[in-house]
Amino acid sequence: PDTEAQAHFDALLAADERIEPRDWMPAKYRKTLVRQISQHAHSEIIGMQPEGAWISRAPSLKRKSILIAKVQDEAGHGLYLYSAAETLGTTREEMNEQLMSGKAKYSSIFNYPALTWADVGAIGWLVDGAAICNQVPLCRCSYGPYGRAMVRVCKEESFHQRQGWEILHALSNGTPEQKAMAQDAVNRYYGPALQMFGPPDADSPNSQQSMAWKIKRFSNDELRQRFVDMMVPQAEALGLTLPDPDLAWNEARGHYDYGDLDWDELKAVIAGNGPCNTQRMAHKIKAHEDGAWVREAAAAYARRHTSTDAT
């Protein structure tokens, strides 16, 4: 029966159809999805911290409302993604535990500080721009619940990128100090945004199998290239410079060449030694502990309702 189930799974993949929660799937396919989807969810949740810290300091009421909406969207993305991962049989509590114990990863990018208001713009433009490049192909992920969650996530990310671009556009066309602040934010965030796509293909242990399973549709380097190609004209329109002296159009390849990235930095940040790793985890754990009474109250309420319904 297992060979029959495997053949059915293979046939669904070959036909570009979705695998759904009730379908048989190889144990490693399930494990890979739980790993990627839960880490993706954790990234959305931890990603609220750097920008959330600017809600009380946004420069106008309008900017503040937009930022609140954006940070709430990230919370929503985390929740859809936890739900998608739960369809694979891992509970939300387990995933949360893995995050807080340091067993599960979250994106390296959220371990950098948002030092100025321009950083909020750079996060929207560069970080959410990278997220879109990475996530649009995930809408076609072979696992149904993940792919469907990505459709809405990508629509919202597009709005986030646009708002980041608009913040930088206003600053870039403002006073010389504002323009310098925008350039400084781009200088600090560009390299780490390129690192979000993961290690180079030759050093990416999961890519090959994930692509064979049609979880990932493109390799880390392919998506990174797509991102660079997308950002160069946008930077020109902003009047800002991307901090890479090797960036140059390559007519033969039809793509921009770009300089080497600092892979030691990515490794160090993933290993827990980025500028804000300790702060991010401490904040997450404190928020979880502070929320204990809400979880208890919700559970008590649910118990009462179930017993009322039953009688």
Which residues of the chain form contacts with ligand ACO (CB under 6 A)? 35-36, 39-40, 43-44, 47, 105, 107-108, 131, 134, 195-199, 204-207, 210, 216, 220, 270
**86: Cα within 13 Å, side-chain hemisphere:** 12
Q: Which is nearer to ligand ACO, 120 or 131 (CB)?
A: 131
State which residue, 102 or 233, has the beta carbon closest to ligand ACO.
102
Which pair of structure tokens corresponds to residue 70?
A: 């954006």
Going 121 to 125 to 126 to 132, the CA torsion angle's sign is positive
Q: What are phi and psi of 143, to 5 degrees?
A: -90, 115
CB of residue 126 vs ligand ACO: minimum separation in angstroms?
11
Tallying the residues shown for the chain, one arrives at: 311
Q: What type of residue is 21? A: P
Phi-psi sector, 216: left (phi>0), alpha (psi -120 to 50), beta: beta
Minimum CB distance to ligand ACO, residue 42 (Å): 8
Q: Can you tell me the distance from the alpha carbon of 107 to that of 198, in angstroms, rounded to the nearest whole number? A: 9
The residue (of 108 and 183) whose beta carbon lies closer to ligand ACO is 108
For residue 178, the minimal CB distance to ligand ACO (Å) is 26
Distance between CA 72 and CA 100 in Å, rounded? 21
Mind giving me the DSSP string for 89-139? T--HHHHHHHHHTT-S---GGGGS---SHHHHHHIIIIIHHHHHHHHTGGG
CB of 162 to ligand ACO, least distance (A): 15
Identify which of residues 49 and 134 has a Cβ nearer to ligand ACO in the complex: 134
Nearer to ligand ACO, 250 or 273 (CB): 273
Q: Smallest distance, Å, CB 137 to ligand ACO?
A: 9
Which is closer to ligand ACO, CB of 122 or CB of 172? 122
Q: What minimum distance in Å lies between the beta carbon of 36 and ligand ACO? A: 4
105-108-113-114 Cα dihedral, nearest 10 degrees: -110
